[in-house]
Amino acid sequence: MHHDTDIQDMQDTIAAIATPPGQGGVGIVRLSGPDARRIGLALFRATSPAFRDFTPRMLHHGAILDVQGRPIDDALAVLMPGPRSYTGEDVLELHCHGSSAVLREVLDATLTLGARLAERGEFTRRAFLNGRLDLSQAEAVAELIAAPDRAAAHLARARLAGLLGERVRALRSRLEHLRAALCVAVDFPEDEVECLAPETFLSGVQAVMAEVRGLLTSHERTRAFREGAVVVLAGPVNAGKSSLLNALLGRERAIVSDTPGTTRDWLEESISLDGLPVRLVDTAGLRETADAVELEGVRRSRELLERADLVMLVLDGGQPADPAALALAHEVGPQRVLLVLNKMDLAPGPEAHKMRGVRGELFPPAAGGIFQVLHVSARTGAGIDALTTTLRRRLAEAAGGEPQAGELAPNVRQAQAMRQALDELEALALDIEAAVPYDLLSVRLETACMRLGEITGEIAPQDVLNAVFDTFCIGK
């Protein structure tokens, strides 16, 4: 869906620094647009005396000069002519040394010669508008750049390859064929040959519904690998939650104190467990208190517990089992609770520990199964490796297993559009079964097609496009 402003802006040549801020061995200034070659030739002086023009897709060595002809940096330059380029336009890259000062000076020189500074995601937006990428692939570019771990990168790469777009276009094409057959059935009701039998219509709709449900299941199953699983550390005050958090992080981050109630709100940190991003949340301790601030912390802790993928219930292994903590464990259930008995270096011994009610009759199995119990010492590090291994396994099992190679998992926006399409198709199936006249069914079918079209950008309002590309960094 092209707008006049988009077409007008695409007459500009845009420029931006394409590498992250900071120092590095190499930094890249990227240009795209009709004047990319001209600006490149004005700035670049090749080392080879035989150089007359850029050879497409070949790196040329030389110097970059400012508009007064003074050298800025030694560099490599490469021109990728449109339409066989990332944006579909002439794209020029200047590979300089990674000094932020040098890159800014090179960028300023391109702007002086007629380029304008690119907006967020404008290079990829041009690729979309020029038909080099569909919208699902454009989103995958940003998601691949921001991928927290390799599993998320693999999921983004499958979408970047266009596999999700192909699947969605195929589903939409099947619905469009049903729309065409429906129109014939409505326009020629007296035809002796029924153009679209209700059974055929219903089975076609149900087949598309099944595939959409499969994609939505994949979205839910891979959420933890895309966005990170949430693990909440809960338990009585001074059970060692903050010390355990520090042990898992490998550095001191949480405040550790002997004073009960030190953690009044929550502290969140991120770790990677063999490719699975995890958000560890250290919450306020569970205890009776009259302190208004601490009460608020406990209330928020309860909210976090409801949203957690897994709750690590941390208990002091040298103390009797806390009744409130045990009640919480049974409330959340064995499927989302991992019992972690801390301070085992201070416990009198495993046999004495068993008598304190964690594995005996004071802590019976819940209705949903038996609670898994691990013994650790945050102070000495004992049991921490086994804890991280168990965490990784439990979280992957809760997510339904590891993402498969090439698995198609829609992102949040795409899944929302699929749910809206599925809602229309489910209502349409009920209408077909209820023998609603065909001329009243076309709107639902058309709406479902539109929702699927929003995923690839074939039918996408401008505000949808803006929302997608505003998430990009400048230079991509």
Is 73 assigned to a binding site?
A: no
8 Å CB contact between 52 and 46: no
Is 259 assigned to a binding site?
A: yes
DSSP state of 263: -
Question: Which alpha helices (H) appear in 19-97, and where do they start and end?
Answer: 36-43
Is 392 assigned to a binding site?
A: no
Is 377 assigned to a binding site?
A: yes
User: In whole angstroms, what separates CA 389 from the centre of its chain?
Assistant: 24
Please state the φ and ψ torsions of residue 36, each to the nearest 5 degrees: -60, -45
In angstroms, what is the C-alpha Rg of the chain? Answer: 30
Please state the φ and ψ torsions of residue 399, each to the nearest 5 degrees: -80, -10
Q: Name the token pair of 214.
A: 């499969």
Is 93 assigned to a binding site?
A: yes
Is 251 assigned to a binding site?
A: no
Q: What is the pLDDT of residue 352?
A: 39
Is 270 assigned to a binding site?
A: no
Is 390 assigned to a binding site?
A: no
Is 378 assigned to a binding site?
A: yes
What secondary structure does DSSP assign to 424-462, as a single string? HHHHHHHHHHTT--GGGTHHHHHHHHHHHHHHHTSS--H
Is 131 assigned to a binding site?
A: no
Is 30 assigned to a binding site?
A: yes
Which residue reads 């966005």 in tokens?
Answer: 227
Is 19 assigned to a binding site?
A: no
Nearest to 30, CA basis, from 101, 80, 82, 66: 80
Is 203 assigned to a binding site?
A: no
Q: What is the pLDDT of residue 215?
A: 92
d(CA 83, CA 91): 10
HEC string for 32-52: ECCCHHHHHHHHEEECCCCCC
Is 87 assigned to a binding site?
A: no
Is 260 assigned to a binding site?
A: yes
Is 476 assigned to a binding site?
A: yes
Is 284 assigned to a binding site?
A: yes
Instruction: Provide the residue type at 447 as one letter.
Output: T
Q: Name the token pair of 31.
A: 């240009």
Tens-binned pLDDT, residue by residue, of the chain (476 aa): 343 345 457 789 999 999 988 888 899 999 999 999 999 999 999 999 999 999 999 999 999 999 899 999 999 999 999 999 999 999 999 999 999 999 999 999 999 999 999 998 899 999 999 999 988 888 888 888 877 777 777 778 888 888 899 999 999 999 999 988 888 777 666 654 456 788 999 999 999 999 999 999 888 888 888 778 899 988 887 788 888 888 888 755 544 444 444 444 567 888 888 878 888 888 765 544 444 444 455 566 677 788 888 999 988 887 777 788 888 888 888 888 999 988 777 655 544 344 333 443 345 555 567 888 888 988 888 889 999 999 999 988 887 777 766 678 898 899 999 999 999 999 999 999 999 988 888 899 999 999 999 999 887 667 767 777 877 777 77
Is 241 assigned to a binding site?
A: yes
Q: What contacts 127, CB < 8 A, 6 or more positions away?
A: 86, 87, 88, 133, 138
Question: Which alpha helices (H) appear in 58-162, and where do they start and end?
Answer: 100-112, 122-129, 135-146, 150-160
Q: What is the pLDDT of residue 285?
A: 57
8 Å CB contact between 280 and 268: yes
Q: What is the pLDDT of residue 103?
A: 95
Q: What contacts 144, CB < 8 A, 6 or more positions away?
A: 153, 156, 157, 160
Is 261 assigned to a binding site?
A: yes
Domains recognised in the chain with CATH numbers: 4-132 (3.30.1360.120), 143-221+408-457 (1.20.120.430), 225-398 (3.40.50.300)
8 Å CB contact between 203 and 226: no
